[in-house]
Amino acid sequence: MQRMMFQADEALLARARRRATDRGVSVAQVIREALERELGSDAPAPEVRSTGAFRSGRGDLARRASDGTDYEPPPFRS
């Protein structure tokens, strides 16, 4: 771990001290966690994919949508 010096407004430092006291940790720990939240990790974010990830179990959905069969829920039918 590397040591670093920085300047901060007294009010911000007071909030950091209160947070550290409330949580029972050091001010340095509060600052490290805030940096982690702000900057994240070096690991790439996981890719979220949902297209084609689920199956309805029905092969006729495109046909049903195009001919209007059960496409809209009953309350919206005219």
Name the residue ranges covered by the structural domains of the chain. 10-39
Q: What is the predicted pLDDT for the residue at 61?
A: 64
52 has a pLDDT exceeding 90: no
Q: Which residue type occupies 21?
A: T
Give the residue ranges of DSSP H helices in the chain: 10-23, 27-39, 61-67
Distance CA 31, CA 12 (A): 11
Whether 30 contacts 23, CB under 8 Å: yes
9-23 tens-digit pLDDT: 999 999 999 999 999
Q: How far from the centroid of its chain's Cα atoms is residue 26's Cα? A: 27
